[in-house]
Amino acid sequence: MSAATAANVRMVVFTQEHRGHGVSTAVFYLAQALVRQGVRVLVADLSLRRSPLGALFERSPTKNLGLWTPGALTPKQLPQVLERVRQQIAGKVDC
């Protein structure tokens, strides 16, 4: 990815087929690295599984790094919920 393209990235999505692949840990450390670069980050955990992200965030609270776990959503609900979250986190993290 070129620097010009990287500057325009607003969302990165990680997925995994099965538990235990380390995706939650990778997401957490990538988010921390982005915060150290001056980016405000919101991690949205949409997995509906018991994720280690909550424990990672509790152990290492980081300014400008937020975790959002909305629970079960239908695809139709997602745009409205995301807009509500954008309003709630305005000025705290980017999304």
pLDDT in tens, 50-95: 778 888 888 988 888 888 887 777 888 888 888 887 787 777 665 4
- 43, 27 contact by CB (below 8 A): yes
Largest CA distance in the chain: 37
Residue among 31, 15, 23 nearest 94 (CA): 31
Per-residue pLDDT tens digits for 20-55: 778 888 999 999 999 999 888 888 887 777 778 888
pTM, rounded to two decimals = 0.68
Using CA atoms, how far residue 36 sits from 39, 46, 65, in Å, is: 7, 24, 10
